Amino acid sequence: MNIIVADTAGFCFGVNKAINTINQLLEDEHKRIYTLGPIIHNEQLVDMLCKKGVEVIEDVNSITEKGYVVIRAHGVTPDVYKSITDKQLEMIDLTCPYVKKIHKLVEEKYGEGYTIIIAGDKKHPEVIGINGWCENSAFIVNSIEDVKNIEGTGGNTCIVAQTTLTEDKWVKITEYIKKAFQNVIKFDTICNATTQRQLEGVKIASGVDMMIVIGGAQSSNTEKLYQKCREICGNTYKIETVGDLPPININNINNVGITAGASTPDWIIKEVIDRMEELNKEQQQETEINFKEAFEDSIVTLQSGKTVKGKIIGFNDSEIYVDLGYKCDGILPIEEYTDEPGFKAEDNIQPGDEIEVFILRVDDKEGQVKLSKKVVDEKNKWNAVKKAHKDKTPVEAEIVEVVKGGVIAVYNGLKIFIPASQVSDKYVKDLSEFLHKKLPVRIIEFNKRKQKVVGSHRIIVEEEKEAKVTKLWEEIEEGKEYKGLVTGLTDFGAFVDIGGVDGLIHLTELSWNKIKHPSQVVKTGDEVEVRVLEFDKEKGRVSLGYRKLEDNPWYKIDEKYKVGDSVKGKVVRLVPFGVFVELEKGLDGLVHISQISNKRIAKPEDVIKNGQEVEARVMEVDGEKKRLSLSIKEANPIDPPEPEGPPAVEKVEEKKPVRERKKKIVKGSVPKTAPKQEAPARHVEEMNLKLGDMLSGLDLSHFGEADETAGEPAAHVEEAPKNTGEDKTMVSEEQKEAE
Ligand code: SF4
């Protein structure tokens, strides 16, 4: 026969605490101890305590001799507290934290005007106690019939449960209430320990031939546990002690399950197991299974100084109760949970949460296990940092303090010293600029014994940079575009960080216009978009381009300006062979001297001046050669002013015979015998010679050389125009005059 004992059998943490406290009082104090009602629903234990001097009373008014008044786990009404205070009695409040929570809820909701419904047994002391917190005004229901009787109650309704109510009854009642009532707020206050015990009992009952539920006859939770198991296994018995066991035919039973209510002491459970063992021995002499050992084996053995895992099963303001699978639950004082000021267990933990704890002390005599989570946390912190040191993995630490020679960072609650030289890869004048920043830190020194941890942020930064630089050199290619930061300016260009590598934008690559210094275009700290013109991995050099093709004023010039277009511009430069007119920033067109006026002019400044706004006609557009020829004459000619008074030639004609005039003109410039028609030809040669002189030594294929101030190729290229038919026309006019 196999005996399966439920892990949840026996005292819950609320009862455990109550019994331990009473035992402690009996040991340490020599005052009388009164319990308001039996401390638990277990006659045997109550009798035992009674023999030790614990008196069960029903009313504080019956106390004649001063002593401690113990409030049991079920809790009481506010009136009882008042009576104890009024009588100036010393009170030991052992109300289970779960029950206390219900008191608070009911008091609060009742204060807000809610009608309170308690799902539970109206005669149970816990329910009576809860009802007191809404001035005994609650409707107490234990079935759907009870709910039907109170239907029609208006207003807002709040429903809570007795801690030992079964889950299915709670669901049935609340579902009915939700349909029948309006504005219902429900709080599932069924104790987790009870639910767990019932679930485990049902699970065991489903796989055994016989089920034994041990608990006091008055114990509500034992009765419900019994009912639940019985639904599954018809061969279920509820017993108070071993003496209540029915006659058992062991031959018919292969597996037997044992569970117990929350108020059943361990020794009663053990007696039942012993008896089952005897029965087993009687029937199966040859089998040497020691059921006692089996039971003890099923109980985890604990050792002080070990770290174990457990499950939180409850808490109050000063302690957390942890199920360790041991015969009694562990107690974790709040001060051993955290140092956090104002820590509230209810805001941070929940029953059912898993927890890792350190066993400070196992006290078998009292059945108490003292735990600490802080010890585990401390160990974990050091282990995490030790691992980070070993694996060289960075940790995210917050700088919390500037100290002499560096800063203090905190990671996982542990302090890390970062020397000033390790805070950054650059010199930091004022370390406080890092305060409250979170930085990745590499642990470079670790010594738990000396409680010393040293970190470096600088190493991480340098490694990141190095990785970025390597990647950049791997991926760089001509024409590739980068976003970068301008890191410095010099006379010959701007340096830009494109990801760990500084590239240079040469002055000529900054703008399409002529500039004298990079600061005319960018400044240090600017984010710029650049493209790689060329690079040299060996020398670590990168040449960058900044100006964009579409910003070039000559870009798609023939789409912007067509021959014959009328344009306006400003004269920006006068040269002997014409003027340059700026049509837009960086785009100058040339008006040849012959294209300024309808009349012959010796030099452009005779009719035009720098800065003058002019109208012109586009004569030629050549984007490739960067040539834009304009004509003012074709648009709005600028003629020289007529000389004042009558023309000199008329005067001559009046005073001298034509023959003489002819003679005089011929004398200075034309040979006497020269044929008339040769004069213009010679004049053309002279004109060409003058232009040749002007342009000699200049390479007119580059405009930059037409601009005597430019050090770099200029934005446009203009050749001095060759002598054209226009010039010939001009010469003919001169010839006429000469004639
Ligand atoms: S059964 Fe639950 S509510 Fe009742 S005393 Fe035990 S832990 Fe507290």
- Kindly state whether residues 112 and 88 are assigned to the same domain: no
- Kindly state whether residues 409 and 335 are assigned to the same domain: no
Distance set, CA 474 to CA 162, 466, 471, 720 (Å)? 71, 12, 5, 49
Distance from C-alpha of 126 to C-alpha of 118, rounded to nearest angstrom: 11
503: which strand partners?
496
Distance from C-alpha of 598 to C-alpha of 621, rounded to nearest angstrom: 22
Residue 104 lies in a domain: yes
Examine the residue annotation and report whether 737 is marked as an active-site residue of this protein. no
**pLDDT band for position 131 (50/70/90)?**
very high
Distance set, CA 308 to CA 230, 356, 413, 500 (Å)? 35, 6, 22, 50
Regarding the beta carbon of 215 and ligand 1, being less than 6 Å apart is answered: no
Cα 377 to middle of ligand 1, angstroms: 29
Which strand ranges, in their side-by-side order, compose the sheet holding 255-260? 2-5, 255-260, 210-214, 236-239
Distance from C-alpha of 118 to C-alpha of 116, rounded to nearest angstrom: 7
Regarding the beta carbon of 98 and ligand 1, being less than 6 Å apart is answered: yes
pLDDT of residue 685: 36
Residue 502 lies in a domain: yes
- Kindly state whether residues 350 and 387 are assigned to the same domain: no
Chain-centre distance of CA 299, in angstroms? 45
**pLDDT band for position 548 (50/70/90)?**
confident
Residue 637 lies in a domain: no
- Kindly state whether residues 90 and 222 are assigned to the same domain: yes
pLDDT of residue 714: 35
Using alpha carbons, select from 709, 405, 389 the residue that is nearest to residue 573: 709
Final residue belonging to a domain, choices 279, 299, 319 = 299
Selected residue with higher pLDDT from 458 and 368: 458
Selected residue with higher pLDDT from 426 and 664: 426
**DSSP letter (8 states) at residue 88:** T
Question: Which residue's CA is minimally distant from atom 2 of ligand 1?
Answer: 191
Can you tell me which atom of ligand 1 is nearest the CA of 99? 3
Where in the sequence is the domain holding 527, given as residue range(s)? 476-551
pLDDT of residue 167: 86
Provide φ and ψ at 493, rounded to 5°.
Answer: 160, -170
599 and 640 Cβ atoms separated by less than 8 Å: yes
Distance set, CA 31 to CA 18, 40, 41, 361 (Å)? 17, 21, 24, 28
Distance from C-alpha of 475 to C-alpha of 126, rounded to nearest angstrom: 75
Across the range 314-341, mean pLDDT stands at: 85
**pLDDT band for position 563 (50/70/90)?**
very high
Q: What is the DSSP string of 24-35?
A: HHHHH--SEEEE
- Kindly state whether residues 107 and 186 are assigned to the same domain: yes
pLDDT of residue 183: 86
Residue 639 lies in a domain: no
CA dihedral sign of residues 318, 324, 325, 326: negative
Choose one of 100, 163, 223 to mutate for the ligand 1 pocket test, by most ligand atoms within 8 angstroms of C-beta: 163
Q: Please list the helix, strand and coil fractions of the chain in percent, rounded to the nearest 5, in that order.
A: 35, 25, 40
Q: Please say if the pLDDT value at position 647 is more than 80.
A: no
DSSP run (H or E) holding 402 = strand 395-403
- Kindly state whether residues 596 and 452 are assigned to the same domain: no
Distance from C-alpha of 548 to C-alpha of 568, rounded to nearest angstrom: 26
Distance set, CA 8 to CA 12, 188, 289, 368, 570 (Å)? 8, 21, 23, 17, 99
Distance from C-alpha of 314 to C-alpha of 350, rounded to nearest angstrom: 8
Can you tell me which atom of ligand 1 is nearest the CA of 73? 5
**pLDDT band for position 292 (50/70/90)?**
low
| Dihedral over alpha carbons 507, 509, 515, 521 (to 10 degrees) | -90
Beta strands in 480-584 (DSSP E): 481-490, 493-497, 502-506, 527-536, 541-545, 566-575, 578-584
Across the range 551-556, mean pLDDT stands at: 86
Cα 216 to middle of ligand 1, angstroms: 15
Across the range 233-254, mean pLDDT stands at: 85
- Kindly state whether residues 106 and 81 are assigned to the same domain: no
Which residue among the candidates 27, 107, 112, 126 is catalytic per the annotation?
126
Q: In this structure, what CATH number is given to the domain that contains residue 170?
A: 3.40.1010.20
Residue 470 lies in a domain: no
Across the range 421-432, mean pLDDT stands at: 91
Across the range 479-487, mean pLDDT stands at: 94
- Kindly state whether residues 133 and 152 are assigned to the same domain: yes
Regarding the beta carbon of 12 and ligand 1, being less than 6 Å apart is answered: yes
Can you tell me which atom of ligand 1 is nearest the CA of 18? 5
Provide φ and ψ at 360, rounded to 5°.
Answer: -75, -40
- Kindly state whether residues 20 and 85 are assigned to the same domain: yes
pLDDT of residue 327: 67
CA dihedral sign of residues 310, 311, 313, 319: positive
- Kindly state whether residues 585 and 601 are assigned to the same domain: yes
pLDDT of residue 727: 36
pLDDT of residue 294: 57
Final residue belonging to a domain, choices 435, 462, 489 = 462
473 and 675 Cβ atoms separated by less than 8 Å: no
Distance from C-alpha of 276 to C-alpha of 72, rounded to nearest angstrom: 33
35 and 54 Cβ atoms separated by less than 8 Å: yes
120 and 143 Cβ atoms separated by less than 8 Å: no
- Kindly state whether residues 12 and 2 are assigned to the same domain: yes
Residue 343 lies in a domain: yes
Cα 237 to middle of ligand 1, angstroms: 23
Residue 638 lies in a domain: no
Q: Please say if the pLDDT value at position 690 is more than 50.
A: no
Distance from C-alpha of 558 to C-alpha of 624, rounded to nearest angstrom: 10
Q: In this structure, what CATH number is given to the domain that contains residue 609?
A: 2.40.50.140
**Domain count within the chain:** 7
Final residue belonging to a domain, choices 551, 572, 590 = 551
- Kindly state whether residues 186 and 221 are assigned to the same domain: no
Neighbour tally for 585: CB within 10 Å: 11
Strand 90-93 and strand 307-315: the pairing is: unpaired
Using alpha carbons, select from 583, 602, 604, 594 the residue that is nearest to residue 633: 594
Residue 199 lies in a domain: no
**pLDDT band for position 701 (50/70/90)?**
very low
98 in helix, strand or coil? helix
Share of the chain above pLDDT 70, in %: 83
Tokens representing 199 are 């679930």
Across the range 207-221, mean pLDDT stands at: 90
Distance from C-alpha of 442 to C-alpha of 385, rounded to nearest angstrom: 10
Question: Which residue's CA is minimally distant from atom 7 of ligand 1?
Answer: 14
- Whole-number mean pLDDT of the chain? 82
Beta strands in 192-351 (DSSP E): 210-214, 236-239, 255-260, 307-315, 319-323, 330-333
Q: According to the per-residue pLDDT averaged within each range, which of 127-136, 596-605, 714-723 is highest? A: 127-136
**DSSP letter (8 states) at residue 14:** H
